[in-house]
Structure 1
Amino acid sequence: MLQAIRDRVTGIVAIFVLGLLAVPFLFFGMESYMRAVPQDAVAVVGDDEIPGNEFQAEFARHRAELRQQMGDDYDDIATNQPTYRREFLETMIDELLLRQHTEQLGLVVSDRAIAEVLRQVPQFQIDGQFNPQAYRMALSAAGQTPRSFEQELRQDVLARLLPGAIADTVIVTEAEIDRHIRLQNQTRQFAMVEIPVERFHDDIDVTDADVEAYYEDNLEAFTTEEAVRLAYVELIAEDLVTDATLDEDELRRRYEAARERYLTPEARRASHILIETTDERDELAARELARELRDRIADGEDFAELAREYSDDFVSAEQGGDLGWIEPDDMVEAFEDALYAMDSEGDLSEPVETRFGWHVIRLDDIRPPEGMSFEEARSEILEEYVERQREDLYIELSERMVDLVFADDSSLEPLADDLGLEIQHTERFTRAGGDGIAANSEVVEAAFSDLVLVEGAVSDPIELSRNHMVAIKVDEHFPAEPRPLAEVESEIRSLIIDERAAEMARELAQRIVEAAGDGGVDLAAAAEAEGLDVEEFDRVGRNDFQHGPEFVQALFRLQDPGEAPELHILPRQGSHAVVRLEAVRPGEPAAASDMERNLARQQIQFSRMGYEITGLIEWLRDNTRIRVVEERL
């Protein structure tokens, strides 16, 4: 192919093509052309990028939250489709746009605001009060440090500052609240003749010809879903048998080489008083106040009382300055240097300057390093070595699997024989997925791909998770096909009966309307002639769904009859009803409680805020260059 191109692109043609290719480089340079989008970014928004690993982590977190919220209703395949992934990326782009705009406006998140948020988190509380130790333990369990968590929290709060500011500018008048209550709390008075559909069932005769005609006219409703059954070869690292072992000397050498790993670091419990630099207090004044407080504590004044009175760290001030246990890298460098330079419990540091202000630090307790002895760590060292050998073997076999499929994708047998693996089989499943490996969206997608389904080839190896890979082949294909008429005959008869009965109910409703006359004055007589009763309803609201949501929605779409009631035929729970709307009563603002008025205010405010934010995001999108790399999603 390359030679063919060389043969044809010569002379004037070659010069013309090369000239076109040169234009971008002349104006923008090779580097800008090649690096328009960073290699690890899924999107670039203005001057900021959304890295692929950040998108994947946020998307995984979002799906985990959905799985927890929806339970059995959660659809793993639907939430992993390209369109859904793109929609989620769009929400991340919107958040980044708002954060960028917030920063451009000069809005910032104060330390006090962060402290207030932290105080409200239940996981950081003991007996309803913020506890520094609980805070650090919760973060440690999540694999985060206070520094990284508070930075993420600051970014999150920053992204919500603008919507909050917009919400504060939305003014809702009392007249608007009154109007909302009149409409939302509106009730309707009506008389109704309900026509039960069951009264017609015995009068309906469904022939075999009727069933067959319905079947032919609605064939798609009685068609099975396309399905497959797969054969597959599965490679799992932890199932690989290895005789790897280590002698005692090697185990001990590995322990000594990684001794620090088996020791918990020294921890120190500390309290502090933070003096910030403010508009009223410059750096020199802050340092002098810190020095004064340090001297007062040294002279015997109570540290905790002074912390409550003077400390600008509002979280720890409530605890008398207590920061709980601190390990290396928990705090900023200058703070930790001063803390770990002290020797004894009760020692006070000289005032220490950090980016947060000036600190007076007291060492409250020391917890020495704790670790595992060689005997305690021995089994762990051996297990990790064996696990590493398994992973190495897995990597070797997985590469071999790729090579074997590439060499021959017509059968799984060479693959199974070469790797010493068993050919397994799934149960039948549709495009919605199934059990086992069929619960994985990539397996389902591959199973119904042209390569595997149409050409009958072995799929490229699919990595289900870390150190877990499969190659699949369609074992049996079940095309979508109509279910036999005999199988669905009774279902069709019931459908025909319901449809005809509903139509007969509507026809009867129309006769009642005609017999009742203008305004429905003779509704009771018309109903009685058909063996039916008239029911009176004085006040039915928008949320009275015991009548059925379809009926209530249709009822509230009717115009106010004023002084001339009219008859209407409305759908009601699979049948029909004749309704004479007699009065429309607006809600009563004067009778609404403060809670109801506040709720109405919030609903109006939220609606307008959503409109304003949507408009702002559209404006930001129109004025910001956004580039998305679809294939990296």
Structure 2
Amino acid sequence: MLQKLRDKTSGWIASLILGLLIIPFAFVGVNEYMTGGTASDVALVEAPPTWWESAPQWWPVSTLWQREEVTLDEFRTAFEQARQQQRQALGDAFDPREFESADNKRKVLEQLIDQKVLALGAQRAGIVVGDAAVQKMIMSEPAFQVDGKFSPEQYQMLLSSQVPAISPLQFQEQQRDRLRMMLVPQAISESDFVTEGEQARMWKVLGETRDIGIALLPPVAEDAAPVTDAEIKAWYDGHKDDFKQAEQVSLEYLEINGATLRVAATADEAALRKRYEAEKSRFVSPEQRVVAHILIAADAGADAATLKKAEDKAAALAKQAREGADFAALARANSEDPGSKDQGGELPPFAKDGSMVKPFEDAAFAMQVGEIRGPVKSDFGYHVLQLKQVTGGTGRSFEEVRDELAAEETNAERERAFNDLAGRVVNETLKNPTALAPAAQATGLPLQKVGPFSRNDPQGIATVPAVLRAAFSDTLVQDGTISDPIEIAPNHSVVIRVTQHTPEQSLPLDKARDAVVLAIRADRREKAAQAAADALVARLQKGESLATIAAAEGLRYNALPGLRRGMPMPTAEANEAIFAAGRPAQGKITAGKVALGNGAYAVFTVDKVTEGDIAQMPAEEREGMRQQMAQLNGGIATQAYVDALRKRFKVKVFEERL
């Protein structure tokens, strides 16, 4: 068989056909090998080479396409940041299960894709950010400033406190990338402007005022007319979704509360003294030093000549200080640390705890008061130090801290008891995950019950948001298993089990009858109130005066000249209805009605409309409005720029990796 195949594929024609078939397969294979996303990517942004914008993806030249990847780690970090922001904003109402939605994940991913699109756009545009721009941005960051001025020590301390720590060089490159990415969008946003005509037209609408009259109609009397069985049946059939019993659960639970656990009443004296000796450093205020310094700045990566020049200058200043020159005056005249220069080089007190760069800290804590030392080299350059003062290093006696230690010992004992009991509860629930009674019997905790209750009407322990979420979770409802411990407060938790679950269901007519009757009567009352308002509007449209009608019928009436758009008068909904009403014709009025809730209505007349006049606006307010409009327009233009870039690039999203 193989020989026959070989015979059939011999000859130059067959060879040519096979060759032509091999070429595209080879190119496709190479292209897939060179451009395929890795398992660590959740999205890939690709752009053709700038010299061939229309290059097809399948052609081998696509191996020269520029790429930016959204890695899985980047996505997870951004999603966790979004989670923490949402948790802080919502507090106890935050639902972690709800936050883990596909929509939220895609929203975070879209933001990251936009960043990569901007980075790729900056790269293709050949944007370069110089060292001076990076330095200016870092020095203007408030977090790196002390008393409004950049502090190298504060800068170093904050970078080293990150997890993991970031070196100044790494941070500078991160900020360089950020500046490069945001340069064009920021320029687009800041270059937007608003003409006087645009602002005037906008204020014509926003600054519009209306002279109105408004009357509040009295509430319609409660409906007492009989409701027939036919009406009840018809209403129920037409509004079945309004008559449902909410999903309900019943729980059994064990509560583990460290505050109620019995522990030893008094702490052992010998144990307290032993602990005091072991932890004596806690009760000693750390030694702090007050140092003045002169910084001669020099980048760690500078050439040897630059470093030598800075070192020589620092050495000369140190010599002058040792010979009696005023150190503060030398610092004001020569120091390149803007955070301390104006204070004569004096820094806030600091301990030997890594808050200062190590060479600086080591030198400071090896000096005697009044001593001058330097040059001392650090990543920022060369320092000349003067030790001005040593403070701290004092401690409290055992007698002074005994009560504090005893309270800590009691709390520690209570925490140990809590952890021990919680561990025993968990062990027992693992043995029998579908019933809490055995765990209650083994640990001596009372088995408590609550319910049935709905999400909107929780009871007892279920009023705790975390417990309520767990009670209606799919796992506990469907499996009937015991929950993991749910923390209510420190050293206070519960484990719960759903003992009964009733899904949401339509109420039969016999159980919904009273609610249906109430709904029918409420509808009748609403229609009566609406009809009364419509009748009053009809009278106004025929030419009667609202003030006259109100006086005759005892209605509460108010004339509101110069009502502004957006003012909640008498309610936000009423204001919206008033400004949605048409303009009155010359010598006429426009009449309308608005529902105020609970069956109440108001009837209004628009007597006069005055357009906003930008010339009457104070200059300061006018400038503020112009800036807001420019900022809004700039944001729209920036997003349009990002959208246009995305259309030029190819974006691949790997949904399965989210």
TM-score (norm 1): 0.69
Question: Is 1:502 matched with 2:530?
Answer: yes
1:506-547 superposed Cα distances (whole Å, 9 cap, x missing partner): 24524653xx2xxxxx44499869957998765332134324
- The partner residue of 1:323 within 322, 347, 369 is 347
How far 1:477 moved relative to its partner? 4.9
1:575 to 601, 623, 627: 601
- Residue of 219, 227, 239 corresponding to 1:208: 227
Question: Cα distance 1:548–1:92, how it changes in 2: closer, same or farther (>3 A)?
Answer: same
Shift of the alpha carbon at 1:472? Answer: 1.8
> How is 1:257-336 mapped onto 2 (pairs within 5 angstroms)?
265-277=286-298, 282-327=306-351, 328-336=353-361
Aligned to 1:552: 575
Equivalent of residue 70 in structure 2, options 35, 46, 49 = 46
2:497 alignment partner, one of 473, 482, 490? 473
How far did residue 325 of structure 1 move? Answer: 1.9
* 1:183-206 deviations in Å (ceiling 9; x for gaps): 22122346x5757254x648x663
Q: What SS does structure 2 have at the residue aligned with 1:351?
A: strand
Could you tell me how far 1:416 is from its partner in structure 2?
Answer: 1.8
Give the equivalent residue in structure 1 for 2:481.
Answer: 458
* Counterpart secondary structure, 2:388: strand
Cα 1:416/1:485, change in 2 over 3 Å: same
Kindly provide the amino acid, as one letter, of the partner of residue 464 in structure 1.
Answer: E
> CA 1:166–1:240 in 2, change beyond 3 Å: closer, same or farther?
farther
* Worse overlay, 562-571 or 584-593: 562-571
Deviation at 1:606, TM superposition (A): 2.8
Separation of aligned partners in 2, 1:353 and 1:96: 43
Q: How far did residue 66 of structure 1 move?
A: 4.4
Counting only pairs closer than 5 Å after superposition, residues 464-613 of structure 1 correspond to structure 2 as: 464=487, 470-475=494-499, 477=501, 482=507, 485-486=513-514, 493-510=521-538, 512-513=540-541, 516=542, 522-524=543-545, 538-560=561-583, 567-571=590-594, 573=596, 574-575=600-601, 577=603, 579=605, 583-613=608-638
8 Å CA contact 2:70–2:112 kept in 1: the answer is no
> How many Å apart are 1:469 and its aligned residue?
5.2
> Which deviates further from its counterpart, 153-162 or 269-278?
153-162
Task: Write the deviation string for residues 450-477 of structure 1: whole angstroms up to 9, x where unpaired.
Answer: 554356x233424437776543223455
* Change in 2 beyond 3 A, CA 1:468/1:497: same
* Kept in 2: contact 1:231–1:426 (CA 8 A): yes
In the TM superposition, residue 240 of structure 1 has moved relative to its aligned partner by 6.5
- 361, 375, 400: which is aligned to 2:427? 400
Distance 1:391 1:425, change over 3 A: closer
**Shift in CA distance, 227/418, structure 1 to aligned 2, threshold 3 Å:** same
Q: 1:396 to 1:207 in 2, by over 3 A?
A: closer
Superposition deviation, residue 615 in structure 1: 4.1
In the alignment, is the contact (CA less than 8 A) between 2:375 and 2:384 conserved in 1?
yes
Instruction: Report the CA distance between 1:602 and its aligned residue.
Output: 2.5
The farther-off stretch of 175-184 and 474-483 is 474-483
Deviation at 1:600, TM superposition (A): 0.8
2:246 to 219, 225, 240: 225
Pair 504,79 (structure 1): closer, same or farther in 2 beyond 3 Å? farther
State the secondary structure of the residue aligned to 2:621.
Answer: helix
Cα contact 2:487–2:494 (8 A) shared by 1: yes
Counterpart residue type for residue 397 of structure 1: R
Of 404, 409, 413, which residue of structure 1 is paired with 2:437?
A: 413
Task: Compute the displacement of 1:45 (Å).
Answer: 6.4
Secondary structure of the 1:313 match is coil
The offset of 1:330, in angstroms, is: 0.5
Distance 2:292 2:136 in 1: 18
Report the counterpart of residue 337 of structure 1 in structure 2: 362
d(CA) in 2 for partners of 1:100, 1:310: 45
Opposite residue 386 of structure 2, the aligned amino acid is R
Does the residue aligned with 2:314 lie in a helix, a strand or coil?
helix
Q: Report the secondary structure of 1:110's partner residue.
A: helix
How far apart are the structure 2 equivalents of 1:399 and 1:205?
59
Aligned pair in 2 of structure 1 residues 437, 602: CA closer, same or farther (>3 Å)?
farther
Structure 1 position 357 matched with structure 2 position 381: yes
* Letter of the 1:272 counterpart: H
Name the SS of the counterpart of 2:343 in structure 1: coil
SS in 2 for 1:323: coil
Q: Over aligned residue pairs, what C-alpha RMSD do you find?
A: 5.5
Counterpart code for 1:226? E
1:290-330 deviation digits (Å, cap 9, x = unpaired): 33433333333333344344433323234332221222210
C-alpha displacement at 1:593, in angstroms? 0.6
Query: Aligned-pair distance for 1:229?
Result: 3.2
Work out the CA distance in 2 between the residues paired with 1:80 and 1:429: 21
Give the Cα–Cα distance (whole angstroms) in 1 for the partners of residues 389 and 471 of structure 2.
Answer: 61
CA 1:246 to 1:231, structure 2 compared with 1: closer, same or farther past 3 Å?
A: same
> Displacement, 1:173?
2.9
The answer to whether the Cα contact below 8 Å between 1:234 and 1:421 also exists between their aligned partners in 2 is yes
CA contact (8 A) 2:252 2:499 kept: yes
Unaligned runs of 5+ residues in structure 2 are: 1-28, 43-67
CA contact (8 A) 1:98 1:159 kept: no
Tell me the distance in 2 between the aligned counterparts of 1:420 and 1:360.
Answer: 68
Aligned to 1:11: none
Distance 1:196 1:293 in 2: 86
Residue 446 (structure 2) aligned to one of 422, 442, 456: 422
* Match of residue 82 from structure 1: 99
Amino acid at match of 2:296: I
Instruction: Indicate if the aligned counterparts of 1:240 and 1:390 stay in contact, CA closer than 8 A.
Output: yes
Deviations 1:227-284 (A, max 9, x none): 33311124467766688999999888877777666765443222223333499x9544
Aligned pairs for 1:371-386 within 5 A: 379=406, 386=413
- Alignment deviations for residues 102-161 of structure 1 (CA, whole Å, 9 cap, x no partner): 8976666537754662599xxx87xxx8999xx99x99xxx999x989999998999797
Residue by residue over 1:341-390, the C-alpha shift from the partner in whole angstroms, topping out at 9 and shown as x without a partner, is 32x11222212332223322222222354556678587589669747854
Change (3 A) 1:536 1:546: closer
Alpha-carbon spacing, 1:535–1:526, altered in 2? closer, same or farther (3 Å): closer
CA distance in structure 2 between the partners assigned to 1:436 and 1:310 by the alignment: 69
Instruction: Classify 1:459/1:79 alpha carbon distance in 2 versus 1 (closer, same or farther; 3 Å).
Output: closer
Q: CA deviation at 1:592?
A: 1.2
Worse overlay, 528-537 or 179-188: 528-537
CA distance in 2, matches of 1:486, 1:84: 39
Q: Contact 2:291/2:387 (CA < 8 Å) preserved in 1?
A: yes
Cα gap change, 1:187 to 1:399, in 2 (>3 Å): closer
Q: 1:208 Cα deviation (Å)?
A: 2.5
SS at match of 1:461: coil
Of 180, 195, 201 in structure 2, the residue corresponding to residue 179 of structure 1 is 201
Q: Which has the higher Rg, Structure 1 or Structure 2?
A: 2
Change (3 A) 1:209 1:267: same
1:353 is paired with a residue whose SS is strand
Alignment of 1:13-28 (within 5 A): none
